[in-house]
Structure 1
Amino acid sequence: MRKIILSIIGLLLIVASFFYAKKLIADKNRPKPVQAKVVKTVFTDTIQNSVIPIVIAANGSLEAKRRLEIYAEVQGIFKQGSKLFKPGQEYRAGQTLIKVDAAEYYASVQSAKSNLYNSIAAIMPDLRLDFPDIFNKWQNYLSGFDLNKTTPKLPEMTSDKENYFITGRSIVSNYYNVKNLEQRLAKYSITAPFSGILTEALVTEGTLIRSGQKLGEFIDPSVYEMEVAVSKIYANLLKVGEDVVLNNLDKTENYKGKVSRVNGSIDPTTQTITAYIEVKNTNLKEGMYLEANLNAKEESDAIEIDRNLLLETQQIYVVKDTLLDVIDVKPIYFSDTKVVLKNVPNGTVILKKPVPGAYAGMLVKSFEEQPEAKDQQ
């Protein structure tokens, strides 16, 4: 019985092997399906060379063109003025910024002026007797001498005898000593040289001020300058007075400026040249960060495309008879997002946007943008 079962199983295996071999032979002779060619749709642009302006992008922070760092040249107590000495306080030209208590020093100045007056008055009898021709001149000087006003200039001496006589009485030396004291007395009061605003205050009323101490900073907020560093390649292209467009980092505001100065030397470390851009606008503040676009020069017979369309081999993709190809180009200038190229013939069809996995010989077709529907009448 066992032998019969094994014989049946063997026979079934032989029959199954026959049909499986027949199926394999049929599958081998069946023709393989032909895969359809994939045609990729791309955005293209037809080249027309033109004059491309080379715009140099630079950035920097604003600084007031007129700035005053306030330092003390005398010592004393800071007296309270008509306005608080605080950041943000505005002053007009000629208004007092800081006034230091000068009562003690003022008394010494008045004493020196009084001594000068007395020394001149002491020689008047001698002038009446020995120099009657110049007596009236010195008498008028004494009459106009006011201890509460600035000491007037001494009368001009017209002869050597007069000069020797006046100098011998130490009047000239006393006069210049008084003028020196008056000059120092003027330093006890610091006035605004121009209309502006206080941006830094390091002292307050009642503070003891010492000679050489920094007191604050004062600026004119109407005119600002921005310092930018430009590559030495464009050193000969920057011109004073050239208009410049500036914008903030958010690209929401534009300002008009001009190149006010260009440094005459190149930084040996960075190989850049410094240019200064002057800008006026009521919305600007010192320290604001801006971007500037400097018009360096114009390049003829050139095109401008996105930087990501330029290959590392200094080539770009072009479309020729529905196939991608590459051509050699000559880059002239690189910006953050654009590149200016030459040696691209007019009428050349190039890619307008990058194509992932692109290669020379890829089958493509140009995307035709549908014209906008006309407004219905």
Structure 2
Amino acid sequence: MTRKIILSVLGVLLVVASIFFAKTLIANKNTPKPFREKVVKTVSIDTVTNGTVPIIIPASGRLVAKSRIELYSEVQGVFKKGNKLFKPGQEFNQGEVLISIDASEYYAGVQSARSNLYNTISAIMPDLRLDFPEVYQKWQNYLNGFDLSKSTPKLPEMSSDKENYFITGRGIVSSYYDVKNLEQRLSKFVIYAPFSGILTEALVTEGSLVRAGQKLGEFINTSAYEMEVAISESYSSLLKVGEKVELNNLDKTVTYTGTVSRINGRVDPTTQTITTFIEVKDDSLKEGIYLEANLNAKQEENAIEISRSLLLEDNKIFVVRDSILDIIDVKPVYFSETNVVLKGVPNGTIIISKPVVGAYAGMLVKTLNDDKK
């Protein structure tokens, strides 16, 4: 009996709950859906005014001294101490002695050869007086001007074939050229600075034994430097020798003015670039410094320049027409690292000047003029 009562109560409760649940569903069905306000994005715009856009080609490179020499010894001997130390960083003026090698032993041999030439000519003077009196005085004057401590003077000009045969037959001409050869080699014991500059490398020190063919160091001219840059072949015809170039250090804190000094006539087959050399002069520059160059390659007429982030796929950009975004085709003519130069955009066209997240053609927008031209 108790069980029947419990089941009856549960049944009544279930019916009541069902009725309440049904009423709740009906009430919710009649509740109106919340209204979602449509969001209109605000975009920055710019009105197009076509004009002349300079195309600047960025490039970078390392400075190298325009004039430099590697110092090698052509003779052997002991490196003598000079007026200035032979050390990196030492400055030398044009004509000053860079390197002096002890040539005392070799100099004695040159003096001996000069003396032998003098004696040979002296020995033929009696024969010249008798057989060639018309040229005797010429050769006597030569002997009078012969100084063993100085470079051997040039032999007198031969007046006739007989004189030539006579002088040559005595071995004077061959002796003369032997002496000149020795004198030429003697001059190689001293190396003079061909220009004013600085020693950047020194591989020997005073007192060292220098051997023939040994590298001694490097000497550069600090008055002018060159920077080698690689330019795309498509812009090679736009660059001219003598064109001014703006150069900056990597920190963009110092600006220099350079000049295109040389343009290679060969295209690198691997990179399709042409090597261009830019000359720059400044007392603060040092060899090995990296600089960035901005080459004025071309003036593009009837064009505009915008950020590369505004260019869409398939060469299109967003424009605003009656507060609605639209897309037009454009013609890119040059890409820089951050910007792109475009042609084919009519004057007066309103374009967006900053990227819009989720933008699409037909999107309703509010405009904010950036006042950019």
Give 1:234 deviation, angstroms. Answer: 1.2
Residue 38 of structure 1 corresponds to 39
Deviations 1:164-214 (A, max 9, x none): 111111111111110000000000111100000011111111222111111
Matching residue's letter, 2:335? F
Matching residue's letter, 1:338? N
Matching residue's letter, 1:90? E
173-182 or 125-134: bigger deviation: 125-134
Residue 111 of structure 1 corresponds to 112
SS state at 1:246 partner: strand
Q: How does the TM-score come out when normalised to structure 2?
A: 0.96
Q: Distance in 1 between matches of 2:88 and 2:52?
A: 50
Matching residue's letter, 2:65? A
SS state at 2:218 partner: strand
Count of aligned pairs between the two proteins: 370
Residue 375 of structure 1 corresponds to none
Q: Distance in 1 between matches of 2:53 and 2:28?
A: 64
Deviations 1:129-164 (A, max 9, x none): 222222221111111111111111111111122111
Structure 2 runs not aligned, ≥5 long: none
Give 1:362 deviation, angstroms. Answer: 2.4
Query: Could you tell me whether the CA contact under 8 Å between 2:353 and 2:370 is conserved in 1?
Result: no
Q: Distance in 1 between matches of 2:251 and 2:330?
A: 34
Residue 330 of structure 2 corresponds to 329
Check if 1:188 corresponds to 2:189. Answer: yes
SS state at 2:302 partner: strand
Residue 363 of structure 2 corresponds to 362
Give 1:325 deviation, angstroms. Answer: 1.8
Deviations 1:344-371 (A, max 9, x none): 111112121212222222222122569x
SS state at 2:295 partner: strand
Give 1:41 deviation, angstroms. Answer: 1.7
- Two-structure CA RMSD over aligned residues (Å): 1.4
| Pairing 1:218-367 to 2, within 5 Å after superposition | 218-367=219-368
Give 1:93 deviation, angstroms. Answer: 0.3
Residue 141 of structure 1 corresponds to 142
| Pairing 1:69-84 to 2, within 5 Å after superposition | 69-84=70-85
Give 1:309 deviation, angstroms. Answer: 1.2
SS state at 2:195 partner: coil
Q: Distance in 2 between matches of 1:198 and 1:369?
A: 56
61-70 or 22-31: bigger deviation: 22-31
SS state at 2:238 partner: coil
| Pairing 1:143-158 to 2, within 5 Å after superposition | 143-158=144-159
Matching residue's letter, 1:226? M
Q: Distance in 2 between matches of 1:169 and 1:369?
A: 98
SS state at 1:236 partner: helix
Change (3 A) 1:53 1:336: same
Matching residue's letter, 2:180? K
Matching residue's letter, 2:313? E
Give 1:19 deviation, angstroms. Answer: 1.9
Find runs of 4+ consecutive structure 1 residues off by over 3 angstroms. none
Give 1:118 deviation, angstroms. Answer: 0.5
Q: Distance in 2 between matches of 1:162 and 1:48?
A: 90
Q: Distance in 1 between matches of 2:105 and 2:279?
A: 46
Give 1:87 deviation, angstroms. Answer: 0.7
SS state at 1:136 partner: helix
SS state at 2:237 partner: coil
Deviations 1:307-332 (A, max 9, x none): 11111221111122222221111110
SS state at 2:62 partner: strand
Q: Distance in 2 between matches of 1:320 and 1:31?
A: 36
Deviations 1:202-255 (A, max 9, x none): 111122211111111111111011111111111211111111111111111111
Change (3 A) 1:369 1:267: closer
Q: How does the TM-score come out when normalised to structure 1?
A: 0.95
Residue 373 of structure 1 corresponds to none
SS state at 1:97 partner: strand
SS state at 1:346 partner: coil
Matching residue's letter, 2:69? L
Residue 19 of structure 1 corresponds to 20
Structure 1 runs not aligned, ≥5 long: 371-377
Q: Distance in 2 between matches of 1:363 and 1:17?
A: 49
61-70 or 16-25: bigger deviation: 16-25
Q: Distance in 2 between matches of 1:369 and 1:262?
A: 42
Q: Distance in 1 between matches of 2:274 and 2:199?
A: 32
Give 1:13 deviation, angstroms. Answer: 2.4
SS state at 1:145 partner: coil
| Pairing 1:202-213 to 2, within 5 Å after superposition | 202-213=203-214
Query: Could you tell me whether the CA contact under 8 Å between 2:46 and 2:370 is conserved in 1?
Result: no
Matching residue's letter, 1:214? K
Q: Distance in 2 between matches of 1:296 and 1:368?
A: 32
111-120 or 37-46: bigger deviation: 37-46
Percent identical residues: 70
Deviations 1:286-314 (A, max 9, x none): 11111111111111111111111111221
